[in-house]
Amino acid sequence: MATGKKPDKKPSPKTGKKAPGIWSGLYGTVEVRRIQPYQALKTYICPGCHQEIPAGMGHNVAVPLDAPDLRRHWHYACWDGEVKTHG
């Protein structure tokens, strides 16, 4: 049964450091754009909480510069939590 927790990345046996993820450097620098409510014309699913970001709600868009097709739309608070956890 799923607990809703994200699995922790295991430290590398050689360096003791966590392997980079999509949002912490695996695909290069991540550009974060702040989308204002008037710019939010579509509904998205936030990868942080798996809930809807409705049209008209301000949010962030995170775009890995080396893989822009992996861009994702995040609630402000979910992105802040991701940065604190993995950034």
29-39 residues labelled b (16+ CB within 10 A) or e (exposed) = ebeeeebeeee
pLDDT over 80 (residue 81):
yes
Q: Residue 73 pairs with which residues in a beta bridge?
A: 61
Residues with Cβ within 8 Å of residue 15, at least 6 apart in sequence: none
Q: How many CB atoms lie within 10 A of CB 9?
A: 13
Q: Which pTM does this prediction carry?
A: 0.73
* pLDDT-based confidence at residue 84 (cuts at 50, 70, 90): confident
pLDDT per residue as tens digits for the range 9-65? 444 445 455 556 777 778 888 999 999 999 999 999 999 999 999 999 999 999 999
Phi, psi of 19 (to 5 degrees): -70, 140
Choose between 60 and 1: higher pLDDT: 60
**Rounded CA separation 57/43 (Å):** 9
Give the per-residue pLDDT at 20.
62
